[in-house]
Amino acid sequence: MLCKSDGGYSYLKEPWWWAGMITMILGEGLNFAAYAYAPAILVTPLGALSIIFSAILAHFILDERLHMFGVVGCILCLFGSVTIVLHAPLERDIESVKQVWQLATEPGFIVYTLVVLVVVIVLIVFYVPRYGQSHMVVYIGICSLMGSLTVMGVKAVAIALKLSFTGSNQFIYFETWFFTILVIAFCFMQMIYLNKALDIFNTAVVSPVYYVMFTTLTIVASMIMFKDMGGSPTMATPLYHRSRDSSPREVEP
């Protein structure tokens, strides 16, 4: 049986929850810094490591049984992440947060953002009251959809901080503060609904499903916004460059 609680806010009274939240914030701080130097399509799949550790720790600490399918799923997540990392695109040069704003306001990403917001509102208003206690995908769907937009905002804020530290202050622009407020609001929403899912359902089940949905949607959002799979020479993968450099040249007669 998956249900463990009523999905309220009882976890706020648990010292272990606060300890976990603090360590998660520290880890996400380093993850935040990674988005300033690498494309989101590369950084996000590396979260497979956290899924594997979460499943193992839940098995030993929370006495949540990890079935064979869970083990196989963790292994597949790891192999999938490694494959994506090996073929990830190079980071594009961005000299101002205004460039990120231009990418975020292109028609393709605006349509994606509107679709995500509409689906999230429908899930919260109609599906959470009816199916939240019995269908894990409702809460995880909200977190994953909002998470894909959060990562795009985090990417923008991280770039703004990196450029500001190098002498080009980006916090004089309205766009930087807009992305900052967006990240704070979306992170707050994700924290609420993810903790509800963890409070109701088995951690060993929630973590892998959330990882797969979140990673998939983040890759889609990154492809739409940053054109990470455009195939242009500037976005080619390091592996591709190495294979070209190492290929034998033809000898002219």
pLDDT tens digits along 12-27: 778 877 887 888 788 8
Is 81 contained in some domain?
A: yes
Domain assignment present for 236: no
Residue 142: the pLDDT is: 96
- pTM of the predicted model as reported, rounded to 2 decimal places: 0.74
**Do the domain assignments include residue 68?**
yes
What is the model's pLDDT at position 8?
A: 61
CB-based contacts of 180: which residues, under 8 Å, 6+ apart? 153, 157
Does residue 91 belong to any structural domain of this protein? yes
Residue 200 has what pLDDT?
Answer: 87
- Domain assignment present for residue 3? The answer is no
**Domain hosting residue 217, numbered range:** 10-228
**Could you tell me if residue 29 is inside a domain?**
yes
Residues whose CB falls within 8 Å of the CB of residue 54, separated by 6 or more in sequence, listed in order? 203, 204, 207
Digit-coded pLDDT (tens) for 166-211? 889 999 999 999 999 999 999 899 989 988 898 888 877 887 788 8
Domains: count for the chain: 1
Q: Is residue 250 part of a domain?
A: no
Percent of the chain whose predicted confidence (pLDDT) is above 70 = 84
Task: Give the model's pLDDT for residue 79.
Answer: 83
Q: Per the domain annotation, does 5 fall within a domain?
A: no
Low-confidence stretches of the chain (pLDDT beneath 70): 1-9, 11, 48, 228-253
- To 5 degrees, how large is the angle CA 106–CA 229–CA 82? 130
